[in-house]
Structure 1
Amino acid sequence: MSTTLDPELLGAHVFRGMGFEACTAPSLATMDAWRDSPYRAVGIYIGGRARSCAQPRLTRSWVREVTDMGWDLLPIWVGSQSPCASGAHQRKFPISAAHADSQGATEAQQAVRAASALGILRNSPVYLDMESYDTRTARCADPVLDFTQSWSRTMRARGYFPGFYSSSEAGIRQIETAREDGYLDLPDVLWFARWNESSSLFDEPALPEDVWEPHRRIHQYVGDTQESYDGYSLSIDRDEVDAPVAIVG
């Protein structure tokens, strides 16, 4: 898909505004209280073998009730990671260089099943979470690109928008370089992490302003911050969003 085609024309539901993620899906009481916050979208970690937090509340009922409160959802899949991931936890779940293509397809199918089980319908996005990694050598970077292309192809074939989250200086820069080099089967939306306190979507050095738009960008601009509304506190990452969100049925 072109990185300049409006996803709304393809059936996406787009949210524009502030969002956040918490590692574990918050309680319904917290989500209700946080309607007094500036946020209206929330990232939810729907699965993946490298997901680090348990999700005791994340059910189809939770998704429906939170959506009925007026929240938009950003489904996130924490699948296999670069063999050279920066984090010790992520290095336990490496992409296989020899099987990156089949691994990406399999995990995309798993992500679709997980989204569907939560009542997240076709024309929704699922954002592949690729944590920071060393991009300087082919051994580290090539499996990520192969995996992501296969994951994106499969997600798209199943009727979902493939998104991609990573550090601006790692996965985001690699995917943008791949686009510049003419690679196909790249994600539809980029969710870039640059913790610079500025919520701008278009002042990102790794991304030219004339691509990955319209409605194809999320900027995670603050991480690991504590906030409280109406007595309910969470540790969150903050995002500026102009991108597809879940369609819930």
Structure 2
Amino acid sequence: MNDIRSAATPSLVLVAHGTRNPRGVEMIATLAEAVGVEVGPTRVAFVDVLGPSPAEVLRELEGPAVVVPAFLASGYHVHTDVPREVAASEHPCTTVTPALGPDRVFARVMVDRLLAAGWRPGDAIVFAAAGSSDRRALAEHRRAALMVAELTDVPVRIGYVATAAPTVPDAVATLRSHGHQRVFVASYLLARGLFHDRLSDAGSDGVADPLGVHQGIVDLVVDRFRSGSAELAARSNDYSRGSVR
């Protein structure tokens, strides 16, 4: 996060994980396009699997930039990869916003996706997250799962696709062992990819679609961008006042 010396309107750099699944890549592009309608120039970067990287995108930008990590929790990619990429770019006018999640907008979208998958009030839910080795991210997953439980008023257990325990199949099995006949998996993933594909083998009665592009999520990205833009403007003003003195 660097000194600000420009009053130009910032560009938004939306940073996602990356996937080899074309539908996942298309979803991120569609999200960026929808956000761009609201805020102007929006670029996409990825921290894994495919490019361009955040550093590559930032090097191509001449004006200020707001980097928005399109992650649902603040794990390794948010705490380590994104700051490292920003530093490597040597871009002079950037700020990085908090990750997108947890936020109640995701809980509302997950309930919509569950209903579309056949979930009925009373059915138990497995909150399926990617997983992380970062305790801060796992704590944020618990907060996000609690939001879903508060909206649905049914038992919600967290299951992880990778890195953490319990696994999604184990979470499904636990709910069944507690007498729940119908168990649905809610996908706490932004886009289709390898992780979402694994959910179909969890032994549930249905799997909701990933979060995808939803107006509530578009609005959340726009809010992150506007907060980041305001921070850049404030720092620019501070710099100008310092120059006058």
* Larger radius of gyration between Structure 1 and Structure 2: 2
The structure with the greater share of residues assigned to helix is 2
The structure with the greater share of residues assigned to strand is 1
